[in-house]
Amino acid sequence: SSYTGDQPAFPDDEEISNAYRDTVKLIQTVDRKMIGYERLEDIPTYLFKLVEDLVEIFFSESEKVKAALIMIFSDSIVDCYVDVKWVPLACCTITLIERLVEHQSRVGGETLVDCYNRTIKAGEKLYELCKRIYERHPDETQKVKDHMQGFLCDSMHLVMRVGDKKSFAEKTRILAEYDGPLNPRRVRRTDEEIWHMWRKENPTYIEQNPFACIYCGKFELENGGKKHNQCSACMNALYCSKKCQKSHWKQHKAGCKAISRSKNSTSR
């Protein structure tokens, strides 16, 4: 479980101190309650809502909240937790987010879209913080990586379902490193090749977890028997309709053009 003992000294600024206390309390409270549930379907909805509140903290525009987050995940705080053999808060939090990703990907709709646009991004920030922990505390490497690996797996599955081949391939390559040195043949494969290879090797998962529209979150099975279509330019996003593709263009435009340019330069 997470650290529940005396916290290090709080900053002088009252608002930062309050944000610090509230965030740490939220992480610890949800962490303790989540431990009691092995099956995802048994977790009460209110606990997922609390993790969603935690995710939103990572997107706060408040300078006070940002300062509190920097302190919570700072090296000095991590050292305190490691010294007394408690799990650092970054590790606890990434595990909570892992379970939220799995839940949101099952719900679909706007919830799934929020997972892709916000939950996974918050998890990726925590992933980088966890990397820093095991780089500074080599003895904790395996424990920390266990927390990181679960998030990587669930976020990889989510980005695959919305057709984000680039993110899927990146996460697949990182996960492969957990099993030892990368197979040189796999390293050289393109994002497209990794995508098709994984889907070919995991037919049962593909059957049980249908594609989803990257804009509205509608599952392919809910689309009247019609298959979702890829963006023809980048082949890196799935849509249930032309309407969704058009509505998503403003958000998708920059990434689409970057991937398209990269493909064109590689093919020359």
Read off the pLDDT of residues 32-56 as tens digits, 9 standing for 90 and up.
999 889 899 999 999 999 999 999 9
pTM: 0.88
Closest by CA to 160, choosing from 128, 208, 122, 125, is 208
Phi, psi of 228 (to 5 degrees): -70, 150
pLDDT at 183 over 60: no
More confident residue, 2 or 154: 154
- Three-class SS state of 181: coil
| CB-CB contact of 125 with 68 (8 Å) | no
- The full length of the chain comes to 268
Say what percent of the chain tops pLDDT 70.
90
Cβ proximity of 90 and 133 under 8 Å: yes
262 with 236: CB under 8 angstroms?
no
Cα pseudo-dihedral 16, 8, 83, 174, rounded to 10: 0
What is the pLDDT at residue 254?
93
Answer for the pair 168, 195: CB distance below 8 angstroms, yes or no: yes
Q: How many CB atoms lie within 10 A of CB 230?
A: 17
Determine the pLDDT at residue 79: 85
105 and 45 in contact (C-beta within 8 Å)?
no
pLDDT, tens only, 251-263? 999 999 998 887 7
Q: How far is CA 165 from CA 13, 236, 242, in A?
A: 44, 5, 20
CB distance 101 to 159 below 8 Å:
no
Q: Using CA atoms, how far apart are residues 23 and 27, in angstroms rounded to an integer?
A: 6
- Chain position carrying tokens 């990726």: 124
**Mind listing the pLDDT tens digit for each residue in 75-130?**
888 888 887 778 888 999 999 999 999 999 999 999 999 999 999 999 999 999 99
Burial of 46 (0-12, 13-18, 19+ CB in 10 A): exposed
Show the tokens assigned to 62.
Answer: 């408040």
Across the range 12-26, mean pLDDT stands at: 89
Other C-beta atoms within 10 Å of 80: how many?
Answer: 17
Residue with tokens 């064109």: 264
- Across 229-249, average pLDDT: 95
Distances (CA, A) of 56 to 22, 105, 172: 13, 18, 26
- How high is the mean pLDDT of the chain? 87
